[in-house]
Amino acid sequence: MKIRSLKCNRLTRPMGFALEEIKLSWVVDEAEGAVATAARIEVSTGADFAGLCYDSGFLPDADSAGTLITLDTQPNTYYYWRVTVRSDAGEEGTSPVSFFATGRQGLPWRAKAIAAPFAEHPVFVRRFTVKEPLALAMLNICGVGLYEAYLNGQKVGDEYLTPNCNDYKTFLQYQTYDVTPLLQDENEMRVYVGDGWYKGRFGLENGHYGGDTLALLAEMTLRYADGREEVLGTDEAWQCETSPILGGGIYDGEQWDFTRPVSTARAVPGALDISLVRPRISPPVRVMQRVKPLWVRAQQDGSLLVDMGQNMAGLLRFYNRQPAGVHICFAFGETLQQGKFYNDNYRTALGKYEVVCDGTEGWLRPYFTYFGFRYVRITGFATPLDEEDLCGLVLHSDMDRTGCLTTPSEKVNRLYHNALWSQRGNFVDVPTDCPQRDERLGWTGDAQVFSATATYNMDTLAFYRKYLNDLHIEQDRRDGGVPAYAPTFGEKDMAPPSSVWSDAITIIPDNLYRFYGDIAVLRENYPYMKAWLAYIQRRVGEGHYLFDVDFHYGDWLALDGATSQSVKGGTEDEFVASVYFYNSARITARTAGVLGLAQEHERYHELAQNIQKAIYHEYFTPSGRLSIDTQTGYLICLRYGVYPHRQKLLRGLSRRFQKDLYTLKAGFVGAAPACQILCENGFVDLAYKLLLRESYPGWLYQVNLGATTIWERWNSLLADGSVSGTGMNSLNHYAYGSVVEFLYADVAGLKPARPGFGEAVVRPYINHRMPAAKASYDSPYGVYAVDWRIDADNRVTMELRVPFGCRAHLPYDDILPETLQIDGAGRHEARETEHLFGAGSFSLTYRTRIDHAHPFSRASIIEDVLAHPAARRALGEHLPQMVSQAQLGDEEKRCETIENMLGPLLPGSTPEKIKRADEALRRINVFE
Ligand code: BGC
């Protein structure tokens, strides 16, 4: 038995985090047994576990996905912990040792906030001596806007953009670092402070949201070997130097001048409200990957153009070998236009890093900004640049990667990786819309839509919990209203509540509960779910159940709007808003149920029913037909179960897609989840058709145009590669990347059967367009993995892995149970409608109920037939006019089924010919 992934509140070895509760989790691998019979958690302040401060004893019901311990923690202290697990096979294993460490907790600060007496950016400096042997030195520090601390020339910690991004008027996060290894007898501490989100230009109003002064608060607690403690805090004894940083900001980049004369002064009291400084909740932002340039090319104008090969967010660092006085400028862009550098889509964001060199060699990079970029234009180099001197630093919040996925389609794989890169680029402490232009805001709609995909990809719990806290702060200010982005930093009117966006407060916690089963997430968010519903109820008025007031973004960027560049789609906003109101009421009712609040459960259930009734009354005909005849209209009704008559809704949906020639017209609301909804409601072929569409509008259109991240618009670039517009056009916008949830859940076929993934459903939706898929998900309990392929006999072979302590359900939906054969170590049993697997690794084979190998017949859509060489030949042989007509003819004809093109539409086709074409098509085995 091996035990890994020891986490505290889903963070690995957290230091100085807020510890309202301490929930420990671990994963058991390579066990002989299938389930744990007991587990024991031990906690000690010494790594040798000589004395224990907590011992759970062997608990029969310890939950490896999260067991709460109660511990009276002391400030600035390491708590080492390990867990011993016993299994049903009688084995016992002990984990490696992990730890969590406390910061200064509730201790009153002895340090004073300091600032510089000059207007320039300061470096705060303090020299000090450590005379006696040290046991531990902990630094607790908060600098505003952003800070970077150095001790004896070495960077303190490996975090960037501290103290992170949140509503600074409500709280400031301090960070805790163990600086023991950095200390020597004589020491110099230098802390750079810059504007960041706090003081720099930021937000839709270009505001300054924290304060007017850069300030620093730091306290180093030195614990000597003999147990004595000394505290070295910021005070007027600190020096300030003018820093080489001249200015910049999150949007604009940074300018450094190393040749500038340094002036020094004594620190003065700083404007930083100490009562707001709290233990951190933001997971660290770190360099998560390094990227080497794909190429560097000299341009005619003397500049250099660099292609990083990947659209990314973060920094470019360079090894400076330039002589003193040389002025270098790095400009960042996402795409080239006619082979040339371009970044007009950054709007007013300058996105530049400038350095005036002083001749010192060494690695340089900006401190208090980041860029979203693939290409860099460099000007000013006086001597040739060595490619090795450039390195891209991918910055994002540190989250473990949990999901992996591959399909036989290289293009789908690229799409998957593009979504992953858009996640990396937009998870820089806040889930942002985009990382490059003058926006980079935590738009709630985008965040909500992408939250399940993000959580398949990475362990997002701590990250989203911080973001939900950002939402709570806003709601407290707005009477329960959730703004369209958070933090707003007080930009009250720029982001009024809007349905779908504001519903993030119900949808994100619900998704987190689905993946992590952590009831604390529901408990924290339930009051805010209720507050959001109460807000809507106040807006719409007593006894009214349609959300038909206020502004809503609606089906943002859908293609059925007034023009092709319209931001608003064709689905009525009030309808979308009411369906989401219904869904939020349902989630709130369910949450009340989970929290054991029976009366409240009833209350919200009743609210949901009233909303549903009102929607039926307003938007459905008496016989049950949906009057909102748009893709998004049908899709969201299906998704949230809003229909009086399912068959009628399905028929309407089918007709709509037929009229739309099987192309997506939906936007943020409808398109993001479209494939999943279609697939799970019987439109499997259509779901795959949409996923695999290579022309505009389709997910693979952007892949074909070389995208390395997900675009904001279906046509962010036109087919000739030119940018479609600069008003609102990002090439790194994860919202449409939500299709990745479909890849995990329905293509590979892996989704939670119960909150927390203790049980999973394995249900791949097989289709002739997708003959195999492979995915793994490292759930809170361990790795589920599925790897399936289908052959020409409709025989599926599947490798399935179920983690320790878990079960997987394989429903017989598309399985002939009598053909199912299973090999492998682990318990499993046949049930009436499914096969149930315990922990273990299994090799399965079975035949499918559906004949996936022979998809063609007279009922096929002509363009699908034409796309398959053998099918096209068969059709050409028996109905040549149909092929030539479809090739010549308009798109509408190609989207007809063969049988519908007959008769008056296609003279010359006799029933005999049709029959023969049908037979020939039915004989084609697409897997042969
Ligand atoms: C953002 C979107 C966001 C929207 C609000 C845009 O500027 O980039 O992704 O959701 O505004 O509708």
- pLDDT of residue 892 exceeding 80, the answer is yes
Average pLDDT over residues 223-236: 95
What spacing in Å lies between the alpha carbon of 730 and ligand 1's midpoint?
10
Among 675, 671, 799, which residue's Cα sits nearest to residue 745? Answer: 675
For residue 567, which atom of ligand 1 is closest to its CA?
A: 12
Tokens of 579: 């369906």
- Residues 801 and 288: their CA atoms lie apart, in Å, by 28
The residue nearest atom 7 of ligand 1, judged by CA position, is 728
Query: Confidence class of residue 565 from pLDDT cuts 50, 70 and 90?
Result: confident
- pLDDT tens, residue by residue, 387-414: 999 999 999 999 999 999 999 999 999 9
Query: Confidence class of residue 907 from pLDDT cuts 50, 70 and 90?
Result: low
Q: Which of 446, 573, 732 to mutate to test the pocket of ligand 1 (most atoms within 8 A of CB)?
A: 446
What spacing in Å lies between the alpha carbon of 664 and ligand 1's midpoint?
20
What spacing in Å lies between the alpha carbon of 726 and ligand 1's midpoint?
14
- pLDDT tens, residue by residue, 701-720: 999 999 999 999 999 999 99
- Residues 163 and 910: their CA atoms lie apart, in Å, by 75
What spacing in Å lies between the alpha carbon of 247 and ligand 1's midpoint?
28
Strands 54-55 and 36-44: antiparallel
Average pLDDT over residues 253-275: 97
> Which run of H or of E encompasses 614?
helix 598-619
What spacing in Å lies between the alpha carbon of 529 and ligand 1's midpoint?
22
What spacing in Å lies between the alpha carbon of 201 and ligand 1's midpoint?
19
User: HSE of 58 in the Cβ direction (CA atoms, 13 Å)?
Assistant: 11
Specify whether the CB–CB gap between 16 and 162 falls below 8 A: no
- Residues 70 and 65: their CA atoms lie apart, in Å, by 17
Cis peptide before 904 (omega within 30 of 0): no
For residue 484, which atom of ligand 1 is closest to its CA?
A: 5
- pLDDT tens, residue by residue, 55-104: 999 999 999 999 999 999 999 999 999 999 999 999 999 999 999 999 99
Query: Confidence class of residue 207 from pLDDT cuts 50, 70 and 90?
Result: confident
What's the pLDDT at 914? 86
Strands 759-762 and 750-752: antiparallel
Among 755, 173, 738, which residue's Cα sits nearest to residue 521? Answer: 755
Residues with CB under 6 A from ligand 1: 433-434, 439, 443, 445-446, 484, 553, 556, 728, 733
For residue 434, which atom of ligand 1 is closest to its CA?
A: 8
What spacing in Å lies between the alpha carbon of 571 and ligand 1's midpoint?
18
- Residues 919 and 857: their CA atoms lie apart, in Å, by 7
What's the pLDDT at 172? 97
Tokens of 328: 């270098």
Q: Residue 912 contacts by C-beta under 8 Å, 6 or more apart in sequence?
A: none
What spacing in Å lies between the alpha carbon of 353 and ligand 1's midpoint?
26
Average pLDDT over residues 307-313: 98
For 73, other C-beta atoms within 10 Å of its C-beta total 15
What spacing in Å lies between the alpha carbon of 498 and ligand 1's midpoint?
12
What spacing in Å lies between the alpha carbon of 619 and ligand 1's midpoint?
27
Specify whether the CB–CB gap between 743 and 457 falls below 8 A: no
- pLDDT of residue 628 exceeding 90, the answer is yes
What spacing in Å lies between the alpha carbon of 403 and ligand 1's midpoint?
27
Q: Tell me the average pLDDT of the chain.
A: 96
- pLDDT tens, residue by residue, 47-60: 999 989 999 999 99
What spacing in Å lies between the alpha carbon of 314 and ligand 1's midpoint?
21
- Residues 228 and 224: their CA atoms lie apart, in Å, by 5
What spacing in Å lies between the alpha carbon of 734 and ligand 1's midpoint?
11
What's the pLDDT at 383? 83
Sign of the torsion angle spanned by Cα atoms 286, 287, 289, 294: positive
> Which run of H or of E encompasses 221?
strand 215-224
What spacing in Å lies between the alpha carbon of 810 and ligand 1's midpoint?
39
Helix and strand numbers (H, E) in the chain are 19, 46
For residue 446, which atom of ligand 1 is closest to its CA?
A: 10
Q: Residue 786 contacts by C-beta under 8 Å, 6 or more apart in sequence?
A: 748, 749, 750, 762, 764, 773, 774, 775, 776, 798, 799, 800, 801
Is residue 484 classed as helix, strand or coil in its secondary structure? Answer: coil
For residue 735, which atom of ligand 1 is closest to its CA?
A: 9
The residue nearest atom 3 of ligand 1, judged by CA position, is 443
Q: Which of 422, 433, 557, 567 to mutate to test the pocket of ligand 1 (most atoms within 8 A of CB)?
A: 433
What spacing in Å lies between the alpha carbon of 37 and ligand 1's midpoint?
49
Average pLDDT over residues 770-786: 98
What spacing in Å lies between the alpha carbon of 330 and ligand 1's midpoint?
28
What spacing in Å lies between the alpha carbon of 254 and ligand 1's midpoint?
26
For residue 553, which atom of ligand 1 is closest to its CA?
A: 12
Query: Confidence class of residue 904 from pLDDT cuts 50, 70 and 90?
Result: low
Q: Which of 346, 437, 443, 551 to mutate to test the pocket of ligand 1 (most atoms within 8 A of CB)?
A: 443
Q: What is the dihedral of CA 338, 344, 349, 353, to 10 degrees?
A: 20
b/e per residue 520-540 (b: at least 16 CB within 10 A): bbbebbbebbbbbbebbbeeb
- pLDDT of residue 209 exceeding 90, the answer is no
Average pLDDT over residues 548-555: 96
What spacing in Å lies between the alpha carbon of 836 and ligand 1's midpoint?
44
Q: What percent of the chain has pLDDT over 70?
A: 99
What spacing in Å lies between the alpha carbon of 443 and ligand 1's midpoint?
6
Query: Confidence class of residue 881 from pLDDT cuts 50, 70 and 90?
Result: confident
For residue 556, which atom of ligand 1 is closest to its CA?
A: 12
The residue nearest atom 12 of ligand 1, judged by CA position, is 553
Specify whether the CB–CB gap between 344 and 355 falls below 8 A: no
For residue 712, which atom of ligand 1 is closest to its CA?
A: 9
For residue 668, which atom of ligand 1 is closest to its CA?
A: 10
The residue nearest atom 2 of ligand 1, judged by CA position, is 433
Torsions phi, psi of 60, nearest 5? -70, -25
Q: Which of 556, 565, 668, 734 to mutate to test the pocket of ligand 1 (most atoms within 8 A of CB)?
A: 556
- Residues 659 and 629: their CA atoms lie apart, in Å, by 11
Torsions phi, psi of 28, nearest 5? -100, 130
Query: Confidence class of residue 431 from pLDDT cuts 50, 70 and 90?
Result: very high
What's the pLDDT at 905? 58
The residue nearest atom 8 of ligand 1, judged by CA position, is 433
Which residue type does 275 have?
S
What spacing in Å lies between the alpha carbon of 442 and ligand 1's midpoint?
9
The residue nearest atom 1 of ligand 1, judged by CA position, is 433
For residue 444, which atom of ligand 1 is closest to its CA?
A: 10
The residue nearest atom 9 of ligand 1, judged by CA position, is 433
For residue 728, which atom of ligand 1 is closest to its CA?
A: 7
The residue nearest atom 11 of ligand 1, judged by CA position, is 443
